[in-house]
Amino acid sequence: MRREGSVFQGLGAVVLKELSDQMSSIRIFVLELLVAAIAFVALYRAIGRLADTTAEDPFVFLRLFTVDTPPVPSFAGLLGFLIPLVAIGLGFDSVSSEHNRRTLSRVLSQPIYRDALLMGKFLAGMATLGIMLLGLWLLVIGFGLYLLGVPPSGDEVLRSLVFLIIALFYCGVWLALAMLLSIVFRSAATSALVALGLWLFFVLIWPILSSALAQVIAPQDIRYVLLGLPTPATVEMQQALARLSPNQLFAESVLAILSPSTRSLGPIFLEQLQGAVVGTALPLRQSLLIAWPQIVGLIASTIVLFVAGYVVFQRQEVRA
């Protein structure tokens, strides 16, 4: 059955309203302050370590994102850890709060479709996250220029921009997940707890669990064990399982993009390295090819989660 009128009617109004709400909300302010502070610490330590080797490294700017100075993880690693938190903070009550404030039926009785409301909330969330990421990116570049004293090369700028886009899709996954939970659960507290639970699960538990599961599904071959080598089947299974986590996808694609010498994200056999000059940088296109499956995985997860939320929302009763 066809409905008349554009699905996008009112989308702009919703995006503007949500964006202005988010920009002025204390919750987002605190989250951004937290991210900025942590990013600053990571950067500061990275610069302290890189300052000595500036001249030796052709990709010193990209090192700003990837160098870790234990106990502080790298800037990119920190983002992988913090982005979900910010996205959850943005999305965990985006729909349920409309229910609880009893504004939903009033807003939906205006000439818009539900699609516009949900899409508008998602786009506004992405815009907020995008602005935050862009701010952080500028912070890194600015600090790098000031403290390292070398300008980034064109390739470095391009790679870091690709990193920015990947990070945005990673945001999308978590935002779509948080919004899905906000649609399914009427209580904001439940939705937040479930979202944070999933976040902890993927950050802390899944990496351990996936290798344990891999051992069970594809047991180690005694011949490899005797030689002191990992069994290829087990390693592959472990990687396949680990890649179910968006965090893993993000970490791998960032590795490929920000470390130009990365040649593979999986196990490599020695024969595959014949003729390769190990340690040399790949062109950006080749790095993109390596990370492409991971990037597509992130985009696809975003879409799947958003559509799931969309379907549930369309079927939901409006009345409180």
With CB under 8 A, what is the number of residues at the site for another protein?
29
Q: Which is nearer to another protein, 118 or 249 (CB)?
A: 118
CB 265 within 8 A of CB 290: yes
- Report the residue from 34, 36, 85, 108 that binds another protein according to the rule CB under 8 A: 108
Please name which of 66, 53, 73, 45 lies closest in space to residue 257, comparing C-alpha atoms: 66
- Report the residue from 42, 62, 112, 129 that binds another protein according to the rule CB under 8 A: 112
- Report the residue from 52, 109, 146, 216 that binds another protein according to the rule CB under 8 A: 109
- Report the residue from 8, 16, 142, 229 that binds another protein according to the rule CB under 8 A: 16
Two structure tokens written together for 20: 């202005």
CB 63 within 8 A of CB 48: no
Please report, as a single letter, which amino acid is at residue 33.
L
9 belongs to the binding site for another protein (CB under 8 A): yes
Q: Which is nearer to another protein, 223 or 319 (CB)?
A: 319
Please name which of 236, 60, 255, 282 lies closest in space to residue 156, comparing C-alpha atoms: 60
Beta bridge partners of 72: 69
27 belongs to the binding site for another protein (CB under 8 A): no
- Report the residue from 85, 95, 101, 284 that binds another protein according to the rule CB under 8 A: 101
Round to whole Å and give the CA distance between 10 and 16: 10
User: Which residue shows structure tokens 């592959």?
Assistant: 236
Please name which of 129, 169, 154, 159 lies closest in space to residue 64, comparing C-alpha atoms: 159
52 belongs to the binding site for another protein (CB under 8 A): no
187 belongs to the binding site for another protein (CB under 8 A): no
Beta bridge partners of 69: 72
Q: At closest approach, how far in Å is the CB of 113 from another protein?
A: 7
30 belongs to the binding site for another protein (CB under 8 A): no
Q: At closest approach, how far in Å is the CB of 133 from another protein?
A: 26
Contact residues for another protein (CB under 8 A)? 1-5, 9-10, 12-14, 16-17, 21, 101-103, 105-113, 317-320
